Structure 1
Amino acid sequence: MPRIVFETAATLNGFIADEENSLDWLFAVVSDEQPPVAPNATVQVEGSTTYEWVLEHENLMANPQKWAEYFGEKPTFVFTRRDLPVPEGADVRFVRGAVADALPTIREAAGDGDIWIVGGGDLAAQFLDAGALDEISVSFAPATVTGGAPLFPRGLNADRLRLKSAKAVGQFAHLVFDVLPPN
């Protein structure tokens, strides 16, 4: 069965976006090496805020060919309550409703590959609530912000997390935790 992985970057003080939903702090990090990005994922999942930020930041509606450069032909499931634009040629599937209800469809689309939760932290927490989060992989950047979107807006005790790896990757500290089922 495919693993569901929340792979993201965060500031040293635990935010994945600042108060304006910007990732400028991330792109300001000069590093000769970049952390891995869910290499076994065949499907990606994200919330509408992440999706809209990528569309705008990369100007994907005007340059739809960039979608394939970044994401290939992977299906992208976007959890949203609104109608959103889709770049020409992108395999974007909008999901309205609970994570638990969408899981069979997402798993089927993933086949034997992993499912990458791109963002945000609240969506990853909803996968945890549905009992369907297997791994949290975070690349901590050498930056802090004064507020914004938290990395993971749920309490998760140490008995639910097992450190799998920790290493320096350029200027980033990359930590990977297995998420264990509740006792």
Structure 2
Amino acid sequence: MLACCDPRRPGVMGCNKVQAIAPFVNHTFLPTTLKNQSYSASSLDGFLATTDNSLDWLLQFGEAEGPGYKNFLADIGAIAMGSSTNQWLLDHYIKGGTPDEKAWLYTQPTGIFSGRKLDAVRDADLRFVQGAVTPVHQQMAAAAKGKNFWIAGGGELAGQSFDPDLLDELIIQVASVTLGQGLPLLPRLIAFPPLRLRSVQALGEAFAELHDQVPHPGDWIGMAGGSTPPNGSGFTL
């Protein structure tokens, strides 16, 4: 589940057609400039949502300030999300079959990771996918056609993308609230080497947006003192 599924903040999508258990594009257009990005909102203590998937703590703030989200989305060519994130959108925003029904918002092809059949959404280009992240990522990168790939949620999907070195950047809007417990932003140890902070921006009085670069194998090279990673870290010189 992703803490930024509210369409007024990072985390909703939209498209043109529905495909069930369909692959993305069947070719190998994998540009080296493509960035795999996780863009989300989080509580100050690192949670995306409460244990019961509530986003009330986030929704109280309304729309995000500034053009950051719009600019981010303009560079996105494909999106991935887990089934819980998708279900939250269906239940709390799309509300299909009700007088309050809304359209799917994004035009990018969107991969929904799920081992079960999910409801289709009218006028949405959804591709229901299963299995390991790596082969699906290759298809999504091809579908992105040279633009960036958004890992929209939840935290575990971002973690599964990090495991095979398929996560490049974290863009996190940290809210001035604490939850105490909940669904974690990124349930992985990333400390040796650490993330590299690229920028920080205040968004009004409620949020600070952090932009971090995710380390890749070999990133210990050139760090201060030429230090060697701890044994078992998976990063070598």
TM above 0.5, one fold? yes
Q: Distance in 2 between matches of 1:139 and 1:84?
A: 29
1:8 paired residue number = 40
2:79 paired residue number = 44
Which has the larger Rg? 2
Q: Distance in 2 between matches of 1:64 and 1:91?
A: 17
2:199 paired residue number = 165
Q: In structure 2, do the counterparts of structure 1 residues 121 and 78 end up closer, same or farther at CA, with 3 Å as the change threshold? A: same
2:226 paired residue number = none
1:58 alignment partner, SS class:
helix
Q: Is the 8 A contact 2:93 2:102 kept in 1?
A: no
Q: Is the 8 A contact 1:35 1:139 kept in 2?
A: no
1:155 to 166, 178, 189: 189
AA matched with 2:103: K
Q: Is the 8 A contact 1:60 1:87 kept in 2?
A: no
1:79 to 84, 88, 113: 113
1:59 aligns with 2:91: no
**Paired residues, what number?**
180
1:177 alignment partner, SS class:
strand
AA matched with 1:175: L
Unmatched runs of 5 consecutive residues or more in structure 2: 1-30, 219-237
Q: In structure 2, do the counterparts of structure 1 residues 30 and 64 end up closer, same or farther at CA, with 3 Å as the change threshold? A: closer
Identity across matched positions, percent: 36
The structure that is strand-richer by fraction is 1
1:57 alignment partner, SS class:
helix
AA matched with 1:84: L
AA matched with 1:174: E
Q: Distance in 2 between matches of 1:21 and 1:32?
A: 20
Q: Is the 8 A contact 1:160 1:181 kept in 2?
A: no
Q: Is the 8 A contact 1:164 1:176 kept in 2?
A: yes
1:124 aligns with 2:158: yes
1:135 to 147, 169, 189: 169
2:103 alignment partner, SS class:
helix
1:98 aligns with 2:132: yes
Q: Distance in 2 between matches of 1:57 and 1:34?
A: 24
What are the Cα deviations for residues 145-165 of structure 1, in whole angstroms up to 9, with x where unaligned? 131110110100152411111
2:178 to 136, 144, 165: 144
1:112 aligns with 2:146: yes
Unmatched runs of 5 consecutive residues or more in structure 1: none
TM-score (norm 2): 0.71
TM-score (norm 1): 0.91
